[in-house]
Structure 1
Amino acid sequence: MEGHSVVAPDEWLQARRALLAHEKDFTRQRQNLAKARQDLPWVRVTKSYEFAAVDGARLSLADLFGSRSQLIVYHFMFGKTWTDGCKSCSFMADGFDGVEPHLRARDVSIVACSSAPPDKLDAYKRKLGWEFRWVSSLGDFNKDFHVTFEDAELPADYNFGTSKFHINEAPGFSVFYKDEKGNIFHTYSTYARGLENFLLTYQFLDIVPKGRDEAHLDYPMTWIRRKYEYDHSPS
């Protein structure tokens, strides 16, 4: 950060107004992109999927909607034999935990889904202090939505075939709509860097002078820890 330009308030205001013009343009582009997402054609979901809840209940995809017509599923990386959930997915979950009441007000349910059994999910959820609903996929759901892979498939096609993934579990969001007749449609999925918009901490880091401060790292997210793993000393 040494040598960064320092100017008088009037010059700073001029520069800030110029940046504001770019920010407003970006906001308009983001609104247009959101509309394009909403205008995507849908695919009807005809396959039956089953999920397990921590209370032992067996749930269908329709059950995950509750009384609402829209459903967001976060594909949380937590393999069947893993001890803990993925730290980057935990980083993501820290950002969306707590949004459910607001989403419900707009006819949306949100749920996380993983390969690990419900007891592991519940223990990890308690450890992190989360409140969101989390279920275990009992069948092909994760595979069909391209976030769980067989060993023989690795490296697997990921992000609509645009990149490779080298482990069995991958992250993503998938969105569904249920009509009045109970028909379910897959409307949207996003993976890889498409998830950055939902990483709340990154949004804050992007407005501070050092930004994400990841350029010197071999991999951008290597600094991330589960929130109980950081040094929480007062200094």
Structure 2
Amino acid sequence: MEHSVVSREEWLEARRALLVKEKEMTRMRDRVNAARLALPWVKVDKDYVFDTPAGARALADLFDGRSQLVVYHFMFGPDWEAGCPGCSFLADHLDGAIVHLNNHDVSFVCVSRAPLDKIEAYKRRMGWQFPWVSSFGSDFNFDYHVSFTREDLAAGPVFYNFRETPPEQAHDELPGLSSFCRDTDGTVFHTYSNYARGGEEMLGTMMILDCAPLGRNEGSTMDFVKRHDEYETRPKAAACCH
């Protein structure tokens, strides 16, 4: 992108115009957040069992004594050798947040269909500490519309991101986030889910890049992202055009 070079006074005028739009976006985010909190809840009637380092655990157990649970649906299929690079990029942002979430009565866990031994091996490779469990053998991923069988994909559109999605735009595993609340009597409710780019604001790196001179500098969404141990030692330099 070509950029003009102007005086400080002209820059300040342009920056103030942008500030108006940024404030509009902030107020819109506040309104969207309020609408999210006002969503109705759905009681979770099915008994889901997860394979965890501490043994088999129910969905209610994943709350770990707290009243709220946020699940990130991490793309890692049973026959995959490694987790999704995009999900891994998001996971790099999690460890520092866990203590703050826990202190705010929120538990956070990643869930994948890969067997637990694969999850644990990949977690060690990446150096992560956050909770991560396996839903292998469970309907959980299918019921929350982030996993699809070959038969599902061959049959036509699949239900993803709250709409029918053509199979060529789908995959056997797709990303998402789901939130749950646990009542004092142990009843669990599904309160919220988002998919596709819905969780983008969890990506702190992207928010910083949005403030960098060249922004995200991508051809397609996150096309530059690799697992953090797969980047070149010396990144290629990009010229700032003006």
TM-score where L is the length of structure 2: 0.90
Distance 1:95 1:124 in 2: 16
Indicate conservation of the 8 Å contact 1:174/1:189, yes or no.
yes
1:160 lines up with 2:165 in the alignment: no
- 8 Å CA contact retained: 1:42, 1:186: yes
Paired-residue identity, %: 52
Q: Which amino acid aligns with 2:37?
A: Q
SS in 2 for 1:148: coil
Q: 1:129 aligns with which of 127, 138, 158?
A: 127
Please list, as runs of the form range in 1=range in 2, the aligned pairs for 1:84-163 lying within 5 A after superposition.
84-137=82-135, 138-154=137-153, 155-163=157-165
Contact 1:174 1:188 in 2 (8 A): yes
**1:211 CA drift (Å):** 1.3
Q: Which runs of 5+ in 1 are unaligned?
A: none
Structure 2 counterparts to residues 46-57 of structure 1, below 5 A: 46-55=45-54, 57=55
The alpha carbon displacement at 1:234 in A equals: 8.5
Map of 1:226 onto structure 2: 227
- Write the letter of the residue equivalent to 1:203: M
Contact between 1:49 and 1:141, CA under 8 Å: does it hold in 2? yes
* Gapped regions of structure 2 (runs ≥ 5): 237-242
Q: Could you tell me how far 1:61 is from its partner in structure 2? A: 0.3
What is the CA-CA distance between 1:132 and the residue it aligns to? 0.5
Indicate if the aligned counterparts of 1:66 and 1:109 stay in contact, CA closer than 8 A. yes
Q: 1:176 corresponds to which residue?
A: 180
Match of 1:207 in 2: 211
Residue 17 in 1 paired to residue 20 in 2? Answer: no
Aligned AA (1:224): V
Q: Is the 8 A contact 1:64 1:111 kept in 2?
A: yes
What is the letter of the counterpart of residue 227 of structure 1?
Answer: H
Q: Structure 1 residues 160, 183: CA separation in 2 closer, same or farther (over 3 Å shift)? A: same
Q: Rate the CA distance shift 1:140–1:222 in 2: closer, same or farther, 3 A.
A: same
Q: 1:139 and 1:234 mapped to 2: Cα distance?
A: 41
Q: Give the RMSD, CA atoms, in angstroms.
A: 1.5
For residues 152 and 86 of structure 2, the distance between their equivalents in structure 1, rounded to whole angstroms, comes to 23
How many residues in Structure 1 have an aligned counterpart in Structure 2? 230
Q: Distance in 1 between matches of 2:26 and 2:222?
A: 26
Say if 1:54 and 1:119, in contact at 8 Å, map to a contact too.
no
Q: Report deviation, 1:162.
A: 4.8
Look up the match of 1:38. 37
Secondary structure of 1:95's counterpart equals coil
- SS for the counterpart of 1:72 is strand
Which TM-score applies when normalising by structure 1? 0.93
TM superposition shift of 1:91: 0.8
Q: Shift of the alpha carbon at 1:209?
A: 2.0
Deviation at 1:78, TM superposition (A): 0.3
Q: Which amino acid aligns with 1:232?
A: T
Q: Distance in 2 between matches of 1:105 and 1:13?
A: 41
